[in-house]
Amino acid sequence: MDAVSVIRTKRDRGRLTDAQIDWVIDAYTRGEVADEQMSALAMAILLNGMDRAEIARWTAAMIDSGERMDFSVLPRPTADKHSTGGVGDKITLPLAPLVAACGASVPQLSGRGLGHTGGTLDKLESIPGWRALLSNDEMMRVLTDVGAVVCAAGDGLAPADKKLYALRDVTGTVEAIPLIASSIMSKKIAEGTGSLVLDVKVGTGAFMKSLEDARELASTMVGLGTDHGVKTVALLTDMSTPLGRTIGNALEVRESVEVLAGGGPADVVELTLALAREMLDAAGIEDADPAKALADGSAMDHWRRMIAAQGGDPDATLPVAREQHVINASETGVLTTLDAYAVGVASWRLGAGRARKEDPVQAGAGIELHAKPGDTVTAGQPLMTLHTDTPERFAYAIEALDGGVLVAPPGTSFEPQPIVHDRIA
């Protein structure tokens, strides 16, 4: 085998053989295939695609590059969830303890934010003392004692994906559906969960801008999970407007605790419950009511135990940014547009996100929304509050919002987007 022949096959719209796929993934992981060669192959895949068998073999090769976890010793069925990333997407925080309170074990391996999308680990690290890095033994202990764990994936899970993901990020090939699907599913399958629910975002603030692309990605991932014996279902959910009323790390933790306390924004509660029901159904748990677990405090109890088990203090005061700036409505009317991408970039520029994986984030930075699309606003009314420790960032963040916030004349009709667009199983 040689890298050039593999590249030429896909460049010329050919089908990669199992042997070619196995070799190139193994050789790249070992350093025998150079970054520039894998970059060329990734671009050929982006342009020419892969069929289902190719994607399945590519995923299997990435799984085989590392270890596989085994949760069969746990007394309860396992269910995991993965989101393709969005703005204000704090759903994992209330969802994991909620599903645990209903009788499933939730081994949630999460990531950090990059660019305009937030990261679950960054949000939880705003809680004093909380640890994202756990050994496999620690992870199993938390799962056994609490029923839910949210932590970083270890280096041993699909190391080929970790290396390839970093390369895709700097070569303009992140959007390749076969590579997105295999990246997500190689880690989730290697993780060893028994069932998986995918939250595939669609809209301006998501990687998938159209329902057609989102359906293709969701169908590909559901097929991969099925092919590898993991019961998998996907929901296509809206990301044209930020979820909830907060974007940023500590701000989103506060809002998640509100949901666990029985309150919180309606859209966050709706999506949390929808995903919880899918996870419980996939795990074979039929008699649990997640809405009741939010109302009776059992989900909150599991949250507090989960945070404490990972070194965090659930009663600690969360960080607050040193500076705030209020943006007011310039006119009276109906707020019709609050673009998720624009708001996400503004929050990132305030310090809530990072441009590179090694960049630090500000725990208190972000945006509070005081109005959502469909609300009637009056001139001078606060629309949002920007938070940051570094006030020189305000102008740069406000620039990102240009064109992303639109107020129509009074009486304009507004038809809200559904939270869940479709279900793929």
- In which band, very low, low, confident or very high, does the pLDDT at 250 lie, cut at 50, 70 and 90? very high
Question: Strand 376-377 vs strand 405-408: parallel, antiparallel, or unpaired?
Answer: unpaired
Higher pLDDT, 109 or 114: 109
Respond yes or no: is residue 187 known to be catalytic: yes
Query: Model confidence over 209-241: pLDDT tens digits?
Result: 999 999 999 999 999 999 899 999 999 999 999
Respond yes or no: is residue 240 known to be catalytic: no
- In which band, very low, low, confident or very high, does the pLDDT at 162 lie, cut at 50, 70 and 90? confident
CATH number of 323-408: 3.90.1170.30
Respond yes or no: is residue 82 known to be catalytic: yes
What is the rounded CA–CA span in Å between residue 276 and residue 141?
Answer: 23
> CATH assignment of 80-309, given 3.20.20.70, 3.40.1030.10, 1.10.1040.10, 3.20.20.80?
3.40.1030.10
Catalytic one of 112, 162, 168, 188: 168
Respond yes or no: is residue 35 known to be catalytic: no
Please determine, looking at this structure, whether the domain spanning 3-49 carries the CATH number 2.60.40.10: no
In the 8-state DSSP scheme, what is residue 351? I
Least confident of 168-182, 294-308, 398-412: 168-182
What's the confidence (pLDDT) of residue 296? 96
Q: Which residues of 382-407 are buried (b: 16+ CB within 10 A; e: fewer)?
A: ebbbbbbbeeebbeebeebbeebbeb
- In which band, very low, low, confident or very high, does the pLDDT at 149 lie, cut at 50, 70 and 90? very high
What is the rounded CA–CA span in Å between residue 89 and residue 91?
Answer: 6
Respond yes or no: is residue 183 known to be catalytic: yes
Catalytic one of 83, 105, 183, 347: 183
DSSP SS3 for 419: coil
- In which band, very low, low, confident or very high, does the pLDDT at 65 lie, cut at 50, 70 and 90? very high
Instruction: Check for a shared fold between 3-49 and 80-309.
Output: no
Catalytic one of 10, 57, 81, 82: 82
- In which band, very low, low, confident or very high, does the pLDDT at 115 lie, cut at 50, 70 and 90? confident
What's the confidence (pLDDT) of residue 118? 87
Task: Give yes or no for residue 117 having a pLDDT over 90.
Answer: no
User: With pLDDT > 70 as the criterion, what percentage of the chain qualifies?
Assistant: 100
Question: From the CB of residue 350, how many other CB atoms can be counted at a distance below 10 Å?
Answer: 30
Paired strand residues for 109: 151
| Domain layout of the chain by residue ranges | 3-49, 80-309, 323-408
Least confident of 98-107, 113-122, 404-413: 113-122
Residue with tokens 């009637």: 376
